[in-house]
A and B are shown apart, each in its own frame.
Chain A
Amino acid sequence: GQNIDQPTEMTATEGAIVQINCTYQTSGFNGLFWYQQHAGEAPTFLSYNVLDGLEEKGRFSSFLSRSKGYSYLLLKELQMKDSASYLCAVMDSNYQLIWGAGTKLIIKP
């Protein structure tokens, strides 16, 4: 079966760095996405990785290792507004997105 695993909840301090991990097992791979979702709102796109390595975009970076079925989202200089759920999603061989359950990130002052 297809499976996406990510921690349920994480807590970090404002100004610090946090890494949210995601492991996956899917039928085929056509890219991995990270989305941010604030409570009561629709997800917003953060990053897309299809090749191994690190993609940096401002305070957010995303890493992918296809051989390990592993990705992480790195958030630097955390701000209170970063408190949200972070969803990992993998596009399988049929170009369908398989979603993780999301990681709720709590930022403390």
Chain B
Amino acid sequence: GAVVSQHPSWVICKSGTSVKIECRSLDFQATTMFWYRQFPKQSLMLMATSNEGSKATYEQGVEKDKFLINHASLTLSTLTVTSAHPEDSSFYICSARTSSGGDTGELFFGEGSRLTVL
């Protein structure tokens, strides 16, 4: 199956700093990537949909100025958590589809990035 790589797996940072998480599709072109956040014992929460070459679409309640998403190429999307605070500590997961809608829509997930803000 298609492979999505996410980096870093773990990151600890101080409050007020910014953290960048990368999501790469290794063997396919992903026109659409999704960013999720998952708090302990809760389901995945979609944060934003990232389309190559255009601005990301953010879900209601997600601050676009705080969670900067860039999808500069068909194989790379980045999520930058700006001025991180302890409440931003979470498990961030990206996913990608091999084609846009209309098919089985199977999502391939990155390994996830656990962010801890001290």
Contact = CB atoms under 8 A, between A and B. Distances in A.
A48 B112 CA distance: 22
Interface string A46-80: 00101000000000000000000000000000000
A6 B42 CA distance: 13
Interface residues of B, number: 25
B99 to A, nearest CB: 11
A42 B112 contact: yes
A97 B36 CA distance: 11
A96 interface: yes
Number of chain A interface residues as a range = 20 to 34
B44 A43 contact: yes
B43 A95 contact: no
B46 A96 contact: yes
Interface stretch (B72-80, B82-90, B103-111): B103-111
Contacts of A41: 111-112
B109 A97 contact: no
A44 B109 CA distance: 7
A98 B89 CA distance: 23
A45 B43 contact: no
Q: Describe A's contact surface by its main secondary structure.
A: loop
Contacts of A48: 104-106
Contacts of B100: 95
A99 B1 CA distance: 22
B107 A101 contact: no
B17 to A, nearest CB: 23
A31 interface: yes
Residue of B43, B100, B102, B114 most packed against chain A (CB within 10 A): B43
Contacts of A44: 109
Nearest to B59: A96
23 contacts: A31-B104, A33-B105, A33-B106, A40-B91, A40-B112, A42-B6, A42-B112, A43-B109, A44-B109, A45-B1, A45-B106, A45-B108, A48-B106, A50-B104, A87-B43, A91-B105, A96-B49, A97-B107, A99-B45, A99-B46, A100-B43, A101-B43, A102-B43
